[in-house]
Amino acid sequence: MRTVAVAIVCKTPRAGASKTRLSPPLTPAECEELSGCFIRDVCETIASLAADQDVTGVALYTPIGTEVRLKRYVPGSFKLVLQSDGDFGHRLRMGAEDILSEGHDGVILVNSDSPTLPRDVLRRAVDAVRRTDNVVLGPAFDGGYTLIGLSRPHPRLFENIPWSTADVYRLTVERAAEIGLPVEKVPGWYDVDDAQSLGMLRDELGGTDIPFLLGINGATAAATREFINGLTISKHATNAAS
């Protein structure tokens, strides 16, 4: 059986260029470190699927020339695939096509902003993309999506989408309807890209129930958890000293 490629879509962490919407409250150096933790944790979840022998882990990365640094965060078993030039939609489209051209049964593109995205959600996406020619979507609670899965290229899904807006998921579903492509939805999750969603992540890792997660347990996210705990201690210590 051929594998489904599960690819984290990521930018190699760099201070001043990573998670910029989280600075403040975090410093640029903390944003770089947190971005690296997110990549490690999402990759760890993907790697656990690869252990089932029907998944190949991939990092669809940018920019060129950062491969050595990226390998600090990505398992050695992962294939590195460079993102193309162009806007985000073009990079997703070309990334999916490049990966599918290698002979996989399907590809799941996963964002790098959801460190607690559950393994079960990815497993459902892998199984769904094998069933038929469809688009598999994991909605994000900000109106985007946490993952998109395909077994064949469908460029229309990525055309004229206003990325980083609340319309991304809706418009992608509309594009699928235009071309007669079935949509299979897997449980939604959330991205961490601003102070509010960072607070949500703190709550989740601290054991607070997040009602809209519908009782689904998030991934352990060990690297992110360690960073968040250390950050909390650091902030508290700073506040106490002042």
Which is it for the CA torsion 158, 160, 164, 169, positive or negative? negative
Q: Which of 167, 166, 230 is nearest to 202 (CA)?
A: 230
Q: pLDDT tens across 157-196, in order?
A: 999 999 999 999 999 999 999 999 999 999 999 999 999 9
In this model, does residue 236 exceed pLDDT 80?
A: no
pLDDT digits (tens, 9 = 90+) for 129-158: 999 999 999 999 999 999 999 999 999 999
Percentage of the chain modeled with pLDDT above 70: 95
CB 112 within 8 A of CB 41: no
Is the model more confident about 46 or about 236?
46
Closest CA to 132 of 146, 149, 157: 149
pLDDT over threshold 60, residue 241: no
Furthest C-alpha separation in the chain: 62
Q: Coil, helix or strand for 170? A: helix
Q: What is the pLDDT of residue 238?
A: 38
pLDDT band at 208 (very low <50, low <70, confident <90, very high): confident
The confidence score (pLDDT) of residue 237 equals: 39
Q: How far apart are CA 120 and CA 97, in angstroms?
A: 25
CA atoms of 142 and 75, how far apart (whole Å): 29
Q: Does pLDDT of 59 surpass 90?
A: yes
Of the candidate ranges 6-10, 59-63, 80-84, 203-207, the one whose mean pLDDT is the lowest? 203-207
pTM over 0.85: yes
* pLDDT greater than 50 at residue 103: yes
